[in-house]
Structure formats: C-alpha cells, structure tokens
Chains A and B, each alone.
Chain A
Amino acid sequence: MAKQLIKGNTAVAEAALRAGLEGYFGYPITPQTELLEHLSARMPELGRPFVQAESELGAINMVYGAACTGKRVMTSSSSPGVSLMMEGLSYIAGTEVPMVLVDVVRGGPGLGNIAPAQGDYNQIVHGGGHGDYHMIVLAPASVQEAVDLTALAFDLAEKYRTITCIMMDGSIGQMMEPAELPPMQPLRTEIPDWAVRGAKNGDKRVLTSINLDPPAQEVMNLRLMKRWQEIEANEVRYKGYFLEDAEYVVVGFGTAGRIALSAVRAAREEGIKIGLLRPITVAPFPIDVLDELTEKVKAFLVVEMNAGQMFEDVRLVVRGRKPVEFFGRMGGVVPFPDEVLTEIHRLVGTPQTTEGSPRDRWLARLAETIG
C-alpha cells in the first residue's frame, strides 16, 4: 500500500480499525479528538459500535464492559481525560481483561494546555490507578511508528490479558507525516474462554476485581506480577542509533527521542562519539541494553518533555556507575535540536560527576535560559 500524508491521530484510528477494532468508546479532548472523530465516521460505516460517552469516566467503563465480552476494544484521550480514566484502568487491570488506551499527552498539571508534552510518564508507567498493576506502554516517535505499534498493542493486550497504552505526545497526534497504513484485517471470530456471553447450560462466568479474602487477593496479585515478569522478559522494544562505538549516550522516548536524534546526528558530524537509545516500550523498560551501555560509555544524557520522569528509571538502572545528566522542557514547550546539541557539548566538553543532583543542575541552567 502506498504512503499517504496523514495526521497521527487519524492514522492510529484507521490502523486500529484495520487491526480489527470491534468497539470504540471515547470523549472529545484536544489534542486527541481527531482519533474519536475518525472512528465516529468509520465504525458505523463498518457496522461496528462507536459511542461518544458522557465523560472519560463513562468511556473507560464502557470499554471495561466491552472488554469483558472478549472483543477487541479501545479508547483514547489526552492527559486530563486519562487522569479521569485511572479508576477504570485499575479495575480493568484487576479483572485481567485486555484493552488498548491511546494517551495523546499534553502539557500539565491541571488543565495545563494542549501542546505536546510527556508529563504522563509517571501516571502511565508507574500506575496512576490504585493497587499494584502494570500496563504495557508503547511510545512512538513518528506517525508511521504509531501506526505500526497499533496492531501490536492489541496483540500484546490480548496475549497477556493486560492493558496496552500507546503513549504518544501531542506532536505525534497532531503532526501530518507520510505513512503507510496496513491492509484491513478480518475481525477475529474466536471468543476467549473467559469472556462473558450468557451462561449456556449453566456454564457461568463472572468477571470481577473483588477478592475480600486477602490471601486470595494476594494470589491474584502474584499472578499479575508473574505475568509482568513474563512481559519484561519477552516484550522489550527499543531502537538504538550509533551505539556501537558510542562514548556518550542520549536516552529519550517519543518526540523528545526524535529531536535528540537530530542533535546526536549533528554531534556525530562534529566527530563526537555519541549515540541514542530510544525506548519504544517505556514499560517494560529496556533495562538490559541500558545496563550493557552503562559498562561501555562515559556518561548519559536523558532528554524528556517533562521534569525528568523516565530519568529516574534510567538512574535506577545506571545505579550511580556513570554520570546521568538531564535536560527537559515542560509545559508543552518542545525543545529544539540545538538546545539538545548544546547539552551534548556540555556533557562531552566538561567534567561530569555522579555526585549532587542532576535535576538541580538542569533547573539552574534552565533558569538562565528562560529567566
């Protein structure tokens, strides 16, 4: 199929549809709305359920019910809407039913703004809803990658009976890029054994997240944790750029990773031996490759569009063995490649330390830049 110029939100919506999406429930919020709008036209066209819910709370609980039928279902939103969905996400995780969530992240906290940001990392990667659970989190850096990850998101959700979140910042959702869409897949015909359908011959199924008996709840917690270990062992995805001979490595995901790549390329042209590690699954986090790099390189620079959320995960892997510096822009401000290049020059050209607070150093530099 030929490439077409298409907006990220629309592309993900169409990719989901072609991956066999059987039910969509959502609520309008910028910068995600085109996703809902596209499906409001396409789903009825194909005779598939589309509901614009009364709220994100309604939408996620509709998805919860729909997921209990074992069908391929999803919702999408942006940061404040995703906050509202956290209750339902915890219940869905606790009930072990699969679904796909698309979070087109915008500036926050609070109402924030509608510009691209990555401030939902902690909420999405480290929980957000109550209780112990994990979601698989995919972070595309281009419209094409978002399209390619969409079908994978459903496959992973169903394989592990878990939530998969496509966490893309507002720029991926709003940007138009050439992308090739996948061919239309037929809808699945098999119904998973656990799905509710009506109890024929007394063959009753109950889907719930309640376990009043603490030991029984703990058995369920253990099952979730073991499944997560399996996901960590099998589903890590990342992209490495110029890592073979790298003495320094930038770590960034999504749009921040893509901008960092421009800066890394420019630095390479200057002869700086620097590479980029771009996690595609920010959860499960690419621990092993980062651990290997720690042995090889002199220092890391983490670049994000937040105040250093993935930064903490990088530091947990590096464990003080090498300096890890941070550079971020917040509030919907997207960094320019030359800002990152300046940070690279500083990383390479000045002595680095594992002492003190990299965040304090970054905030001091940022204060000089933006007053």
Chain B
Amino acid sequence: MTLAEVPTRIVYSRPEVLDKRVTHYCPGCTHGVAHRLVAEVLEEMGEVENAIGVASVGCSVFIYNYFNIDFVEAAHGRAPAMATGIKRLLPDRTVFTYQGDGDLASIGMGEIVGAASRGEKITVIFLNNANYGMTGGQMAPTTLPGQKTTSSPYGKDAARFGKPFRIEDAYSGFDMGYLARGALVGAANINRAKKMIRKAFEKHMDNQGLCYVELLSPCPTNWNLAPLKAKDFLLEEMTKHFPLGEFKGGDAK
C-alpha cells in the first residue's frame, strides 16, 4: 500500500458556524477555544439557526464577528437581563450569554443573581481569567490573593478586597439547571469543558433553569507570563481557589 492509498478521514475541522477570520485575542488566550467549544456544541445539537447570543463588555465584546448566528450586544454586566428579555419573548430559542469575570462577577452581579434567582431559562458561559482583560489587567473579584494587577500593584489584599468570587458558594442556595467549572488548558480539560457546555445547553433547552459554565482561562498578556507559564499558573495556582467540577445538575447528582 502506497502512502496515497492510505484511507484518510477528517478528525478535525473548523465548525461552520465559526466565521473564517483571525480573532483579535492575544496569543495564549483561550477565548478562541471557548468560542470553538460553544460553536461545536451548537452545531452538534442542531441549534445554530435557533440560537441567539448575548455578547458582553470585555475582551469578547466582538464575539459576534466570529459566530454566524444572531447576536445582541449588552451593556457592561447586563447580559443576563438582556437574555431574559429575549428568552421571555422567544421561549423556544437557545439564548445564551458569554461574559467575562469583570462583567459577570463585578458590575453585573445584580443581573446574574437576579436571573439565577428567577431560574431564567438561559445558558451562561462565564470566562474567568482573574482580571479585567480589556482595560489592561486590573483587579477583579476573581483575582487571587496576592496576585499583582495594574490596580493591585502590591498584590491583592484579600482582607481589603475580598477572596476570589466562587460560583459554588455564591449560588449554593439557588435552584439551577446546571453549574460547573472547567478549564481551557490541556486536551483532557478542554474535552471535559466541552461536555459541560453541552450539558448546560441541553438542560437549558430542557427548561431546567439557568445553566452556567465557568471556564478558567489564562491571560498571559495581563498576567505578565509567557503562554506556557500562564497555563502552569492556571493549573497550579488558579485551581487552588477555583476547583474544577460540577456543582449542580452534574452526573454525581
């Protein structure tokens, strides 16, 4: 058998729902990975034409440039409220928000908690990179104790600015369809994160309430680390404060 005769099969290709263009994200950032996972899940579920995304303010503000689906752009932090409005008017659509940690865990805490407490039937994709990326790396509620940022130059003092915001604590009393945290570093974690996203969208479309996946993501630019070092920091330091796993609606239940 010559090389030309070896049967080939496609094991990896670009999801059609993702537009063929270069993203504006920094080297080593995993917004692109998160986009791809969401795109794959929407395609595999046959929800592409039924999906409406709600973009947020932060590095992913232009997410709608990369997806060939309907999108609206929310004010900073207000994506869950906007998604509520869309989902209530179009209850058979797949409505999801895509938010960062500055957006969701700080300025938008009111809107996400409101949506969660109502059991709003939306999916929330929450990308946590422990800082405000777009404005150049300021301290966020997710910033680790001791972590240096441009607004915590001496390292975050948890006694004054709080411990990292954790979804498993914040929403412990809420009735939610799904709540999980994955990481976008390493093939095994990425595969696991995709399963979480799939589960969230499935439970959301099964009207089980608000479904929410946090995705830990490295931010080499603002962490002042080379991409590989940033991955190490995520796995070694970030996961100490943000353990991976399913907290609600998971298999363990």
Interface residues of A (CB under 8 A from B): 22-23, 25, 49, 51, 53-55, 57-59, 61-69, 71, 73, 87-88, 91, 95, 196-202, 204-210
Contacts and interface: CB of A to CB of B under 8 A. Distances in A.
A24 B72 CA distance: 19
Given A54-B111, A61-B75, A71-B89, A204 B82 contact: no
Given A58-B81, A58-B114, A204 B54 contact: no
B48 interface: yes
Nearest to A90: B75
Given A68-B86, A199-B49, 5 more contacts: A54-B117, A65-B83, A196-B71, A202-B68, A210-B73
A346 B86 CA distance: 56
A61 B78 contact: yes
Contact of A23 (B50, B72, B88): B88
Nearest to B76: A87
B215 interface: no
27 contacts: A25-B85, A49-B89, A51-B118, A53-B114, A57-B81, A57-B110, A57-B111, A58-B114, A61-B85, A62-B88, A64-B75, A65-B81, A66-B89, A67-B85, A68-B86, A69-B85, A69-B86, A88-B75, A88-B78, A196-B72, A197-B70, A197-B93, A198-B70, A199-B48, A199-B51, A199-B70, A208-B73
Contacts of A210: 61, 73
A202 B64 CA distance: 13
B70 A65 contact: no
Query: Which secondary structure dominates where chain A touches chain B?
Result: mixed
Contact of B70 (A61, A91, A205): A205
Nearest to B117: A54
Contacts, number: 132
B29 interface: no
Contacts of B90: 69, 197-198
Contact of A73 (B52, B70, B85): B85
B86 A196 contact: yes
B113 interface: yes
A55 B110 contact: yes
Contacts of A67: 85
B69 A204 contact: yes
B74 interface: yes
Given A53-B81, A55-B114, A198 B89 contact: no
A57 B89 CA distance: 19
B78 to A, nearest CB: 4
Contact of A61 (B71, B82, B118): B82
Given A55-B114, A65-B54, A87 B75 contact: yes
Interface in B28-84: 48-52, 54-55, 61, 64, 68-75, 78, 81-84
A23 B89 contact: yes
A64 B85 CA distance: 7
